[in-house]
Amino acid sequence: MRRGDGRGKRRGRGGREDAAPRPRPGVPFGPGGMADLEHRRGHRTSLRALTRGGGPRLAVGRAARDIVEQLRLLVKTGVALGLVFTTGVIGFLVIGWPRHGLVDAIYMTMITLTTVGYGETIDVSSDPLAMGFVSVLLALGVGTFAFLFSNLTAFVADGGLGYLLGRRRMERMIEGLRDHYIVCGLGETGRHVVEDLIVTKRPFVGVDLDPAHVSELRATLGVQFPALIGDATEDDTLRAAGIDRARGLIACISNDKDNLIVVVSARIINASLRIVSRCIDSSVAPKIRAAGADSVVSPALIGGHRIVSEMVRPIAVSFLETLTRGEDSPVRVEEVPVSPASSYAHIRVGELRSLEGRELLILAVREHGGAWVHNPDDDVVLRPGMSLIFLGTPGTRERLEAKLAP
């Protein structure tokens, strides 16, 4: 698996990569169109079917898949041991009947399988068939016990037990999150996304198919952030990440097809979610927007603009970089929307400035879908639906979010 890929490469039936579907005339490939399409079909649309065919796929990475296989093997071995034990009980019941009952049969089975060697309650020394039965039972029991013990030891040594316990703790942590962000894909791009979210103290959940990406990123950042090992294109994974109560989703998998699936799925599950998607091929960007993304970011396009800016206005770029993502800067450029339920709705900009003092520098305001008003006058009224762009500390942002977007 290449680094940066939130998933491995997948193909449809026959090893052929299938193209993304084209929307039918009159059926927009957006939230409403998808919902209408599902209603016409009469069942939940398969995410995989939106872009490709093929059989079912495991929503786990190689390391997690190994743990699952080990767990399945443990269960199968336990079932086999149970069958051997049941066979032993039935056999000793037949041998000892009618003088000996169920308790004696269970006791004889236990001391035989565990090779403890306590006194026998059912005598088998005078019956060749009974002795043969005990010999076979002993061989099967000891072999199954040894196989179970070796698998259990390997499961614990390979981190399987720690993985299961850690996953449960992580699930409880995620269940307590509200208004958080979901980052799908923790490769090179996802790493920088996570770094910014940590620095700006925003709650988030990471999702990646490869456990190595999660563990490496945690070790690099020194933070045990919430993360799920799973396939972000699957509804169950997104629901486990709390998409129904999330504020936003960032799709930064190194595969445009998978980002498209994530966007479609997220928009269907949560129509009010803000979705930002990475796009490698610029020709796919319109499709991702039509699928429900609020914004599509092309690393190549952004990188090109940044290179030119570094050449012709390096000081200005350095200054803006400090204000937007500088870790050592005490202030940052932030954005907060004005909610209808806000206690600051309908107050003037001048009043807000006087309430917050010198810690707040208002740069601009904008009506929803309207034009920017730079350096607004004090008599400008903050109305629901407006966005406030300001320069302030993380504490200032948290206070304004509590007042403007409760």
CATH code (residue 150): 1.10.287.70
The predicted-structure confidence for 279-312, as pLDDT tens digits, reads as follows 999 899 999 999 999 999 999 889 999 899 999 9
41 lies in some domain: no
Confidence of residue 31 (pLDDT cuts 50, 70, 90): very low
18 lies in some domain: no
Phi, psi of 59 (to 5 degrees): -90, 45
- Its pTM stands at 0.60
Q: What is the CATH number of the domain that holds 250?
A: 3.40.50.720
Q: What is the CATH number of the domain that holds 370?
A: 3.30.70.1450
306 lies in some domain: no
- The tokens describing 382, both together, are 């903050």
Q: Does one domain contain both 191 and 292?
A: yes
Q: Does one domain contain both 96 and 149?
A: yes
CA angle 269/387/33 to nearest 5° reads: 30
The predicted-structure confidence for 105-137, as pLDDT tens digits, reads as follows 898 888 888 887 677 778 787 888 888 998 899
188 lies in some domain: yes
The predicted-structure confidence for 246-267, as pLDDT tens digits, reads as follows 999 999 998 999 999 999 999 9
285 lies in some domain: yes
Q: Does one domain contain both 189 and 252?
A: yes
Q: Does one domain contain both 289 and 369?
A: no
Distances, alpha carbon 42 to alpha carbons 37, 131, 199, in Å: 9, 63, 45
How many domains does the structure of the chain reveal?
3
Q: What is the pLDDT of residue 33?
A: 44
Q: Does one domain contain both 187 and 263?
A: yes
Q: Which residues share a beta bridge with 362? A: 390
Q: Does one domain contain both 118 and 75?
A: yes
User: In terms of Cα–Cα distance, which of 318, 334, 322, 328 is closest to 399?
Assistant: 334
- For 400, the domain range is 330-404
Q: What is the pLDDT of residue 201?
A: 86
- Tell me: pLDDT of 2 over 70: no
355 lies in some domain: yes
Q: Name, in order, each residue with C-beta under 8 angstroms of 269's C-beta and a sequence gap of 6 or more.
A: 235, 238, 239, 243, 244
